[in-house]
Amino acid sequence: MEASYVSIRNVSVWYGAHQVLREVSLEVPKNSITALIGPSGCGKTTLLRSVNRLNDSVKDFRLEGKILVGGTDIYARNDNEYVEALRRNIGMVFQHTNPLPMTILGNLLLPIREHTRLSRQEGVRLAEAKLRQTGLYDEVASRLRHSAMKLSGGQQQRMCIARALMLEPGLLLMDEPCSALDPISTFKVEELLLKLKEDYTIIIVTHNMEQAPRISDYTAFFYEGEIVEYGQTVQMFLNPAQEKTRQYLSGRF
């Protein structure tokens, strides 16, 4: 396995007295796609949200262990300045498209206005570059000052990906980004992710057992808050090492 960009070491998570993750360890190589799979409620999204500290706002959230992103211990400090700086290096794309009720260009410029000192002209140039990078520019070039709410679901999701890339993060987290999309839109997003991994490290939660082998280099199978198996996707899907993994991949539970 190549050098890790994300290192998750013996992480356990509680919400109050309820333990959601138990001693989870995971090394995510730089410039790779890692899929997190497993039944609903097994802790995949909790781990994803812990990597960019979105769980901080959840009542009675508690984490033990260590998470390193780009060599930085993301739980080393709790002050707002530190957490905000961490989040600028971690893009997040959610299950349901979440365009803001403003223009396409306005959506992309918002992170620039909030977190950088770039001029509007520089921001516009960067927005166009990210729209090109996500394969959306030619589809929306004449509508940049139109409402983002008028885009199709697939276009909205690609715009959200472009927005997540505006601050040039090293890591992109994706929580079932294709679950609400039609097959054609799903194909476009998957094709995009395969290109983006040349420049970014990607972790994706998916319930689609066909999607993981199509796009991911590595897969972690979660069950009841623990990692049952983690390794190269091709190897896991062709010859899983654990019987529980075999049962899950064959649809037996």
Report the CATH superfamily, name and number, of domain 4-249.
P-loop containing nucleotide triphosphate hydrolases (3.40.50.300)
Strands (E), the chain: 4-15, 18-29, 33-37, 61-69, 72-73, 90-93, 171-175, 201-205, 218-223, 226-232
Calpha distance 177→191 (Å, rounded)? 13
In the chain, the percentage of residues whose pLDDT exceeds 70 is 99
pTM summary value: 0.94
Listed residue (110, 103, 157) closest to 135, CA to CA: 157
What is the reported pLDDT for 2? Answer: 72
Chain segment 172-226, per-residue pLDDT in tens: 999 999 998 999 999 999 999 999 999 999 999 999 999 999 999 999 999 999 9
Where exactly are the structural domains of the chain? 4-249
List 36's β-bridge partners, or say none. Answer: 205, 220
Chain segment 26-46, per-residue pLDDT in tens: 999 999 999 999 999 999 999
1: pLDDT strictly greater than 80? no
Chain segment 51-85, per-residue pLDDT in tens: 999 999 999 999 999 999 999 999 999 999 999 88
Count, residues in the chain = 253
